[in-house]
C-alpha cells in the first residue's frame, strides 16, 4: 500500500494503484457503420456448450463464405432461413426483441434461452482504401467475417463483460474502396440476446484500453473515476469482479463535509462514498446496493453503514427510496452531508436515510464499492478539521472468511455447497466442483460432488473424495453416518429419496415417495410447474418442504413479457410435511392466510414467492409466545421486500404473508439458534445477515458480512449461538472461484466473526 498523486490530490488505493489518463479529442470514425442489417434466425438448434459451438463454427463459416453480397435467404444444413431487415437502435441489435420468444421467465431453465443462433449481414461502402477499426460486444458469443475472412471470434470464452458494449472486442481490417460484406454469427446468453457494434474512433480505442484495468483510472476529459476491473477474457469468461475497492483522499481530513457525484453501476454490486475514515478499516459509508432482484421489484435502496475493522459493514439505516429509477444504465446523483455526528443522504434529489452516530469524528473522504461502477463529477467540499487522525497506510480491514477448499486440482469452480452436521463436531460439506475451462452452465450440470469433512466444528477441513453419484435436492442426517437426499420437481412433479450409509460416499437408487391426500386440487394441475424451493428439519424430526406452484401458461398471455413486467409472475407457496423421514408427504397447505377478515375463507395464496428459507424456534419459553414457531422468509418476485409468514401449529396452517423489513434473494438461509435468535443470510445488500431476538417480530438493520453478490449458500449452527455459513464466490463467471466459509457468533448486539 502506498499513496499516489493524481493531479494535485493524494489518494490511498489500498489494494491497487491509480493513474490519470488523458483521452484524444473526440472525432468522427473513419467510415460510417451500417445501420440496416439483414437477420436470419432463430435456428432450431441451440448450442449450450463450448464443444457444440466450436463444432458448428465450420458450418457457420461455410454459410457466410458462400456469399459476396447480402443474401435473400440463408442455407444452414438442410434448412433455408428467410430474411428479416432490422435497423440498429444506436449501436444495438436486440434479437430478443426482434425475434420475440426471449421473454425473461424466472422459472424457465437458463438453457431454454441460452444458445439460440442467428446470422446478420450488412454492407459497408468505402470511397478509398482505409484501415477500419471495429468494436463489438455480444451477450454472449459471436463470430465475425469481412468478405468471408474471419476477423473476430469469442466462441470459446464468450464476451467476458456483461452487459456488453461496442468496445469489448476490437479488430481492425484494411479495406479497399468499394463495397464489403460484414457477417456475424450471434449466439444468445442467459440474460439477453444483444449485439453492440460500431466503427471506433481514437477516443473509443483509448477508452477500450482502460475498460479493463488493474488500477484506478481518473479520466479528467470525461470527469470520470473508474475502479480496477479485471480483464474478463483473460480470467476465463469472467464478467464480474466481486473484489472490494477503496480510494481514500488522504490529503484532506474533514469534519463537516458534503460529497456529491453521479454514478452508474453494473447489473450487480455496490457503490458508495466514504466519510470520516480513521483508516481503511474504520469509517462511515453511504452505499447504493444493486442485485438482480431489485430490477424486477423496481426497488432502489440506500444504506448508511459503519466499518469497524472486523471486515463487516454494520448497517445503521437502510431505506427503500421512492421515485428513483432502476434502469441499469442510469446515471444517478448521490449527495451526502455530514454535520457533526449527523449524516444525511439524497439520491436524485429524493431525501433518503439519515443517522446520528458518535463513533467517528473528523476523518478522510473517499469512494468504495465492488463489481463495476463509474463515478463522475465528484465534488468533496468541507471544512478541514482542526484536529484529526494522521493517515495510516497499514491494512486495518479484517477478513472474517476463509477458503475451506483452497486446492483447484479437481476443478476451478466450487459451486453452492450443502452443510450437514453429522455429530457435535463432525460436519460434512458437499461441494460441486466443476472442471477447469468449462462453461459455467455446462459444468454446473456435470460437476462432481466432493466430500469435504471437518472434525472440529468447522475450524479445519480435509477432502474425503468424490461421491459416486451426483446428488441433487435436500440432504438430511437420519442416523449415525446416514444421509437421506430428497429431490422434488420435474414434469410431472414427483418427490424421490435416496440414502447414503457411508457419509455421502455412495448412494442407493432413488425411491418414489408417497404423496398423501389430494395433490391434484392445488398442485398437480395442467399448465403449472412445481418445485421444492425450501426445506427444514423441525424440532421433532419432521421434514418440511416448501413447494412453489407456478402458473406458466398465464405468463404467456402477456405480449413482450419480461422481468420489467411488474407483477406477472404467479408463484404460490405451499407447505408439505413428512413424519417418516421423507418416505411420504402430507397434502400441501397454503403458506398464506389470504383472507380479508381473519376467519373468512381465504383467497388463493400470495403469488410472489420464490426460494424460501424456514426455521423453527426452540420449544422453550420465547418472546411474544413464539416458542416452537416455524418462521419462513421468502425471496420475492416483484416485491421490494421479502415475504414473511409463520406457523404456530407445526406447519399445518400459516399466518397471512407480510412484508419483512428488508429485501433479499440468492437462496436465502434461515437458522434458529439454541438461544432463540433467528438468523437470516441472503444476497442483498452484498452478503448480508439480519438477526431477530423476538421470534421474527422485529429485525435488526443488518450487517454486510462479505461482498460476492451471489450468496446461494448453506448455514448451520455448530455450537450454541455460533453459526457456520458456506457460500460460493461466484456462479462460475469468475475463475478460479472458491467456496468461502465463516464462523459467526450471534449476539443481541449483532454478529461477531469467530476466528478459524
Nearest CA among 513, 508, 516 for reference residue 471: 508
The confidence score (pLDDT) of residue 403 equals 96
Sorted by where each begins, the domain ranges of the chain are 36-200, 210-384, 513-660
Count of CB atoms situated within 10 Å of the CB of 354: 15
Helix count (H) and strand count (E) of the chain?
6, 54
**HSE (side-chain half, CA atoms, 13 Å) at 749:** 2
Query: How does the average pLDDT of the chain come out, rounded?
Result: 91
b/e string for 47-61 if b means 16 or more Cβ within 10 A? bbbbebbeebbeebb
The confidence score (pLDDT) of residue 273 equals 98
**Model pTM?**
0.92
Q: Which helix (H) or strand (E) holds 57?
A: helix 50-65
The confidence score (pLDDT) of residue 172 equals 94
What are the tens digits of pLDDT across the range 668-680? Answer: 999 999 999 999 9
pLDDT band at 520 (very low <50, low <70, confident <90, very high): very high
Question: What CATH architecture applies to the domain 36-200?
Answer: Sandwich (2.60)
Q: Is residue 651 predicted with pLDDT exceeding 80?
A: yes
What are the tens digits of pLDDT across the range 465-487? Answer: 999 888 878 899 998 889 999 99
Domains 36-200 and 210-384 share a fold: yes
The confidence score (pLDDT) of residue 237 equals 36
Region of poorest pLDDT, from 47-56, 482-491, 708-717: 47-56
Hey, is 308 helix, strand or coil?
strand
The confidence score (pLDDT) of residue 155 equals 92
β-pair partners for 120: 39, 184
Region of poorest pLDDT, from 81-85, 422-426, 488-492: 488-492
Mean pLDDT along residues 483-495:
91
What are the tens digits of pLDDT across the range 161-216? Answer: 778 999 999 999 999 999 999 999 999 987 789 999 999 999 999 988 888 888 99
Cell of 535: 426445506
What are the tens digits of pLDDT across the range 544-574? Answer: 999 999 987 776 777 777 777 887 778 999 9
Mean pLDDT along residues 511-539:
94
CATH superfamily of 210-384: Exo-inulinase; domain 1 (2.60.120.560)
What is the distance between the alpha carbons of residues 492 and 386, in angstroms, rounded to a whole number? 72
Q: ∠ CA(520), CA(526), CA(529), 5° rounding?
A: 90
Hey, is 332 helix, strand or coil?
strand
In the chain, % of residues over pLDDT 90 = 73
What is the distance between the alpha carbons of residues 579 and 156, in angstroms, rounded to a whole number? 49
What are the tens digits of pLDDT across the range 217-275? Answer: 999 999 999 999 864 433 333 334 667 899 999 999 999 999 999 999 988 899 999 99
Q: Is residue 418 predicted with pLDDT exceeding 70?
A: yes
Amino acid at each position: 500500500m502506498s499513496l499516489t498523486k493524481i493531479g494535485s490530490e493524494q489518494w490511498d488505493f489500498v489494494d491497487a494503484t491509480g493513474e490519470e489518463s488523458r483521452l484524444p479529442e473526440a472525432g468522427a470514425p473513419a467510415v460510417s457503420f451500417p445501420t440496416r442489417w439483414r437477420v436470419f434466425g432463430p435456428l432450431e438448434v441451440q448450442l449450450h456448450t463450448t464443444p457444440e459451438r466450436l463444432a458448428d463454427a465450420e458450418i457457420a463459416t461455410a454459410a457466410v463464405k458462400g456469399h459476396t453480397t447480402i443474401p435473400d435467404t440463408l442455407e444452414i444444413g438442410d434448412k433455408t432461413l428467410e430474411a428479416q431487415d432490422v435497423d440498429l437502435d444506436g449501436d444495438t441489435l436486440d434479437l430478443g426483441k426482434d425475434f420475440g420468444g426471449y421473454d425473461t421467465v424466472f422459472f424457465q431453465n437458463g438453457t431454454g434461452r441460452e444458445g439460440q443462433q442467428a446470422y446478420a449481414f450488412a454492407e459497408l461502402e468505402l470511397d478509398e482504401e482505409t484501415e477500419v477499426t471495429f468494436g463489438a460486444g455480444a451477450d454472449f458469443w459471436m463470430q465475425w467475417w469481412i468478405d468471408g475472412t474471419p476477423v473476430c471470434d469469442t466462441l470459446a470464452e464468450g464476451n467476458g463483460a456483461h452487459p456488453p458494449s461496442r468496445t469489448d472486442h476490437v479488430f481492425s481490417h484494411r479495406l479497399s474502396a468499394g463495397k464489403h460484406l460484414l457477417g456475424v454469427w450471434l449466439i444468445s446468453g442467459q440474460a439477453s440476446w444483444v449485439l453492440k457494434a460500431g466503427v471506433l474512433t481514437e477516443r473509443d480505442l483509448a477508452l477500450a484500453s482502460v475498460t479493463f484495468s488493474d488500477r484506478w483510472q481518473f479520466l479528467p476529459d470525461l470527469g470520470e473515476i473508474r475502479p480496477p476491473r479485471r480483464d474478463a477474457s483473460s480470467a476465463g469468461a469472467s464478467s464480474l469482479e466481486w473484489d472490494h475497492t477503496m480510494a481514500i483522499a488522504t490529503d484532506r481530513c474533514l469534519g463537516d463535509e458534503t460529497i456529491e457525484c453521479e454514478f452508474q453501476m453494473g447489473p450487480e454490486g455496490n457503490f458508495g462514498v466514504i466519510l470520516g475514515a480513521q483508516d481503511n478499516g474504520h469509517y462511515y459509508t453511504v452505499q447504493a446496493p444493486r442485485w438482480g432482484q431489485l430490477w424486477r421489484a423496481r426497488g432502489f435502496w440506500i444504506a448508511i453503514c459503519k466499518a469497524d475493522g472486523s471486515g463487516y459493514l454494520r448497517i445503521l439505516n437502510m431505506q427503500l427510496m421512492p421515485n428513483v429509477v432502476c434502469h441499469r444504465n442510469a446515471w444517478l446523483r448521490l449527495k451526502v452531508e455530514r454535520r457533526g455526528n449527523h449524516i444525511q443522504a439524497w439520491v436524485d434529489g429524493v431525501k433518503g436515510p439519515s443517522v446520528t452516530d458518535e463513533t467517528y469524528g473528523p476523518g478522510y473522504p473517499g469512494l468504495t464499492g465492488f463489481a463495476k461502477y463509474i463515478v463522475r463529477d465528484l465534488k468533496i467540499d468541507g471544512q478541514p478539521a482542526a484536529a484529526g487522525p494522521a493517515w495510516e497506510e497499514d491494512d486495518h480491514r479484517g477478513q472474517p472468511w476463509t477458503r475451506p477448499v483452497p486446492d483447484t486440482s479437481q476443478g476451478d469452480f466450487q459451486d453452492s455447497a450443502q452443510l450437514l452436521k453429522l455429530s457435535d463436531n463432525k460436519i460434512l460439506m458437499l461441494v460441486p466442483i466443476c472442471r477447469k475451462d468449462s462453461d459455467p452452465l455446462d459444468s454446473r450440470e456435470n460437476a462432481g460432488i466432493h466430500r469435504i469433512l471437518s472434525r472440529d466444528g468447522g475450524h479445519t477441513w480435509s477432502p474425503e473424495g468424490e461421491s459416486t453419484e451426483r446428488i441433487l435436492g435436500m440432504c438430511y442426517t437420519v442416523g449415525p453416518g446416514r444421509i437421506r437426499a430428497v429431490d422434488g420437481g420435474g414434469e410431472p412433479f414427483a418427490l424421490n429419496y435416496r440414502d447414503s450409509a457411508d457419509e455421502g460416499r455412495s448412494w442407493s437408487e432413488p425411491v418414489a415417495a408417497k404423496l398423501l391426500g389430494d395433490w391434484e386440487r392445488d398442485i398437480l394441475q395442467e399448465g403449472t410447474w412445481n418445485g421444492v424451493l425450501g426445506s427444514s428439519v423441525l424440532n421433532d424430526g419432521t421434514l418440511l418442504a416448501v413447494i412453489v406452484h407456478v402458473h406458466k401458461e398465464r405468463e404467456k398471455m402477456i405480449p413482450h413479457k419480461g422481468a420489467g413486467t411488474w407483477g406477472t409472475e404467479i408463484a404460490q407457496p405451499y407447505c408439505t410435511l413428512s413424519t417418516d423421514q421423507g418416505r411420504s408427504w402430507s397434502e400441501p397447505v397454503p403458506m398464506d392466510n389470504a383472507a380479508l377478515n381473519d376467519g373468512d375463507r381465504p383467497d388463493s395464496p400470495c403469488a410472489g414467492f420464490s426460494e424460501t428459507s424456514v426455521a423453527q424456534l426452540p420449544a422453550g419459553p420465547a418472546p411474544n409466545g413464539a416458542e416452537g414457531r416455524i418462521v419462513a422468509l421468502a425471496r420475492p418476485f416483484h416485491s421490494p421486500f421479502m415475504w414473511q409468514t409463520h406457523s404456530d401449529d407445526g406447519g399445518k396452517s400459516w399466518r397471512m404473508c407480510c412484508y419483512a423489513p428488508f429485501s433479499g434473494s440468492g437462496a436465502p438461509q434461515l437458522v434458529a439458534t439454541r438461544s432463540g435468535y433467528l438468523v437470516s443470510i441472503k444476497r442483498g445488500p452484498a452478503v448480508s445477515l439480519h438477526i431477530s431476538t423476538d421470534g421474527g417480530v422485529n429485525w435488526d438493520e443488518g450487517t454486510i458480512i462479505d461482498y460476492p453478490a451471489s450468496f446461494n449458500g448453506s448455514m448451520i449452527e455448530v455450537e450454541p449461538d455460533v453459526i457456520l455459513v458456506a457460500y460460493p464466490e461466484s456462479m462460475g463467471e469468475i475463475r478460479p472461484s472458491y467456496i468461502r466459509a465463516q464462523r459467526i457468533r450471534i449476539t443481541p448486539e449483532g454478529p461477531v466473526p469467530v476466528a478459524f
